[in-house]
Structure 1
């Protein structure tokens, strides 16, 4: 394993050919292991709380994970060709200045995910230490985990991807044992299933929460494929990424769906208490899996945040950037410990409002270019582009018109009974807008070439 370069050039410039030595199997583990986390289990519980148990809940998980995993896999394909981190590759459509805004938003997103992932892990770590006679406060347990994550992320992509592979096997076996036990132990403990038909609004909120959990990784995708040799088949990168993202989140969320009726509320405390109770002699395994899962997810999270901050125009040392991210995530987790459920549910939905339009623009720019612009696909545009303006406009419009949260409900969402379809509208509106911009640019290029000829 090698420590990645710490200067900003490692983010702003393409990876040299001699450094593209990452084995392609690491692509699977880089997108599989981070989702083996209690946060995914809680999503399954949230689906039950929304009144969507049984086959309806299963369909919500299936649709949400498909919608969320596809953009991640499509973005990951860009890595071997561009040799750039995902947010830096945004410069091809957003421009050198324009890509700074989504990069900074993504950095803030990473800080939030740090907190979301660390709260349940710290609670489980406290209980695990208590079983061996050690009593530690929340802030100390959280600090130990955050420090371990920071050390891993400071090493860069190679160390992070090695951790994902080897810790991933441990987490997979641990959660498989705990999950099967939990499903059997919780069977029959929940209340009677409601016979009422599920509300459309609840279905859309459920799909939004599920898809958001995966789609957030689209902003990270090529961070962990750019060191793959450039001749690697795109189809292999796509399916390894899609399989890793979809399978891990679907399995964990399915455990949450099957046990959700027996858990008092979708909070980390209730989930961990239930797992500890159901696991019996395997309780230490359950607690250790929850505690150490945050290392897998936040090591990647902090590393990506370091890239994003540099792409956002803050050209600091990559290791210092990781320290700042981990430190702010730690503070947010300490402050938000008691309001985890509301923060988590709102955070999942709010994250979609920016990630969906960004995905629409980036993917349309990469995959839908007219023939006259194919050769210019990796041309870095200067300044702030029309695509960057489109991103801002679409994001603001979808929040203002379609958002449905306890903080604010847009007029269209209110007309739909509270259903949140803003992420779907945002994605397709931004993508269609980008295609229109590309076609106009393509016609101008064709005219110039014709006149020069």
Structure 2
């Protein structure tokens, strides 16, 4: 019996040893996995010590624990909404996340969001490397010049093995993280004494701090939008969209809200204490040495998410190069891409200023600026313009129907980004509107509305019927057995 495009393959390979695919299409015969696996994957992926640092910001700016947690819940809930809806693109298109942008920006025009995305991946890897090193130095003292290359090398090995190993590790790591950090959370709430600092003790409502905490939580989870299809593209094409989006949302939002809220509690009760030391101190309230166990478990999670970041940076980097010079999606190309990413991460980590927490907060805000216009354009195209109907082979054809430069996507991205500038609030620049708001940054809302709305407007005269024949040819070439 012939198979329809929306059905799962009758049989597929078991978990592969070393992944062979990179930016290329995943055939229906290779589709596998379960929708619910997205939940623990994104839970563990977001449940890292760096996530906790986002929750320190509200209390440090005079916001009470309650108001900080509310800002975190609203911000992470809002940011994850956009991230989760990208999950549906993976099984429908069978492609990694960022190469899909060629349909909106063109094979070469996509270099704009690609560059921003590589910046995000490498930035996260740098901060993860620094924090993981601090964790390991509690039990294995060694200089940064030793640990940085070692940790990056481990992450590269994980990324070389690829998709299935990443899913397996994240799924089982979830159980360990929940067990350990449930204890830490109870200790932080019940056993950690209140701060003696008068300013911290009198913290309450502060509108600017609330918006900053909201923006950081939202931006942090929006940044995961660049990953999502990388880890859902192997799912069967008929995976239920609602369940897929819900599991992705629950995993990513749940872990962010939990860990950022824990950070708010610890940041309010232990103001000015280094994040690793604070986490160790809370854990030691159970018994001496448990804090070190907590930090080491968190360090393991950091190393695995470094593998996720390295994998995504490699896919995006290959996609960028392929737009200008065709790249065969081989294992060797993946390894070369991963090594290049690793060298960049080690170099930046060794050169970054000591005040990395301040640098991290600025990084989260910056990536929000660059990614918001992209996610708006990409989602509007998938859900409202082309409605999930793409000619996959044409995405890899620079002279095909999507072209080299997608002017609609580029204009919408550029205008949306420029519209955000007056709302920016950074250490080195505060836009006029942000200044009027007391330093609060609401640029993400402006970028989403302007970029998404303008792209939808520019696509009113797009002749989608002309793409029908290309989609039929693409399906015939990719899935000749599917009718």
TM-score normalised to structure 1 length = 0.89
1: CA distance, partners of 2:286 / 2:146: 26
Identify the match of residue 191 of structure 2 among 185, 194, 200: 185
Aligned to 1:416: 437
Total equivalences in the alignment: 436
Q: Which residue is 1:354 aligned to?
A: 370
Deviation at 1:73, TM superposition (A): 0.9
- Answer whether contact 2:76 2:221 (CA < 8 A) is retained: yes
- Counterpart contact for 2:419–2:446, Cα < 8 Å: yes
Query: Which residue is 2:381 aligned to?
Result: 365
1:280 is paired with a residue whose SS is: coil
> Cα deviation per residue 1:331-358 (whole Å; 9 max; x = unaligned)?
2222226121111110010110011111
Distance (Å, rounded) in 2 between the aligned partners of 1:395 and 1:278: 49
Residue 72 of structure 1, aligned match among 55, 80, 83: 83
CA distance in 2, matches of 1:226, 1:374: 14
Structure 2: how far apart are the matches of 1:36 and 1:375? 34
Contact 1:353–1:398, Cα closer than 8 Å, also in 2: no
User: Which residue in the other structure is 1:118 paired with?
Assistant: 129
Match of 1:247 in 2: 254
Q: 1:4/1:439 Cα in 2 relative to 1: closer, same or farther (>3 Å)? A: farther
Change (3 A) 1:171 1:374: closer
1:137 aligns with 2:143: yes
Q: Indicate how the Cα distance of structure 1 residues 257 and 442 shifts in structure 2: closer, same or farther if over 3 A, else same.
A: same
Distance in 1, Cα, partners of 2:57 & 2:434 = 20
Judge conservation of contact 1:204–1:421 (CA < 8 Å) in 2.
yes
Cα distance in 2 for partners of 1:375, 1:19 equals 21
Distance 1:126 1:374 in 2: 48
Query: Is this contact kept in 2: 1:267–1:341, CA < 8 A?
Result: no
Q: Who is 1:382 aligned against? A: 403
Kindly tell me: are residues 120 and 284 of structure 1, through their superposed partners in 2, closer, same or farther at Cα, counting changes over 3 Å?
same
1:63 CA displacement: 0.7
Task: Give the deviation of 1:143 after TM superposition.
Answer: 3.2
Q: Post-superposition shift, 1:217?
A: 0.6
Structure 2 residue 62 is matched with structure 1 residue 51: yes
1:62 correspondence with 2:76: no
- Correspondence for 1:333: 349
In structure 1, the residue matched to 2:295 is 287
Residue 322 (str. 1) matches residue 322 (str. 2): no
Q: Is the counterpart of residue 312 in structure 1 residue 328 in structure 2?
A: no
What are the ranges of 5 or more consecutive residues in structure 1 without an aligned counterpart? 130-134, 447-453
Pick from 358, 367, 390: which aligns with 1:342?
358
The normalised TM-score by structure 2 is 0.84
> What is residue 104 of structure 2 aligned with on the other side?
93
Shift of 1:326: 2.3
| Cα pair 1:114 1:330 within 8 Å, conserved | no
Match of 1:108 among 119, 141, 145: 119
* Partner SS state of residue 352, structure 2: helix
Matched residue, 2:450: 429
> What secondary structure, in the 3-state scheme, does the structure 2 residue paired with 1:226 have?
coil
What is the CA-CA distance between 1:240 and the residue it aligns to? 0.8
The CA RMSD measured in Å over matched residues stands at 2.4
Task: Tell me if structure 2 keeps the 8 A contact 1:117–1:298.
Answer: yes
Contact 2:195 2:271 in 1 (8 A): no
Structure 1 CA distance for aligned equivalents of residues 203 and 69 of structure 2: 17
Question: Between Structure 1 and Structure 2, which shows a larger proportion of helix residues?
Answer: 1
Q: Return closer, same or farther for 1:198/1:377 CA change in 2, 3 Å cut-off.
A: farther
Change in CA separation of 1:443 and 1:225 when aligned onto 2, cut-off 3 Å: closer
Q: Give 2:235's match in structure 1, choosing from 214, 221, 228.
A: 228
Match 2:154 to one of 126, 138, 148: 148
Residue 299 of structure 1: how far off its partner (Å) = 1.2
